[in-house]
Amino acid sequence: MKASPTAMTIGEVAAETGVPAKTIRYYEDAGLIAPATRADNGYRVYDERSLEVLRFVKRARDLGFGMAEVGELLALFRDPRRASADVRRVASRHLREVEQKLVELERLRGSLAALVARCHGDGEPDCPILDELVGRPAPRRSPAARPRRK
């Protein structure tokens, strides 16, 4: 049950935006969204502007922007005299970070694929993956050279 079209409880805002109530409180504490006003019963009450800002924060976080970057973007969003070049600068910086992570993930994928390919995946205890994790070279044995379990 909504309090009014312009006043929503934290539960209603959470349901409307898909942001858990705990996260909404965290965003308030971090200063990303304005602290909610309190109703007579002490419950947090949010207005339409708070809902809009929370949607903004959620979408920015979904795009992988960090808290500091979200703060920068919010400041630009709130500034009617902002230059779109400033917004682009923040987004471009984040894009470069994402591209670097993709390079690192591709390198990681290659390493993991090589380890998985080297592992026999049978009932024997020897495992090149574990050997690699502990930092010792894995012995290379042919399938015929492995002892059979009884």
CATH of the domain at 33: 1.10.1660.10
The structural domain count of the chain equals: 1
pTM for the complete prediction?
0.75
Q: Which amino acid is at 68?
A: A
| Residue 35 covered by a domain | yes
Domain range enclosing 35:
1-64
Which residue, chain included where needed, has tokens 């379990």? 149
Q: pLDDT tens digits, residue range 54-106?
A: 999 999 999 999 999 999 999 999 999 999 999 999 999 999 999 999 999 99
Rounded to the nearest angstrom, the gap between the alpha carbon of residue 137 and the centroid of all alpha carbons in its chain is 35
| Residue 141 covered by a domain | no
**pLDDT at residue 150 above 70?**
no
- Tell me, letter by letter, the H, E, C secondary structure of 66-130: CHHHHHHHHHHHHCCCCCHHHHHHHHHHHHHHHHHHHHHHHHHHHHHHHHHHHCCCCCCCCCHHH
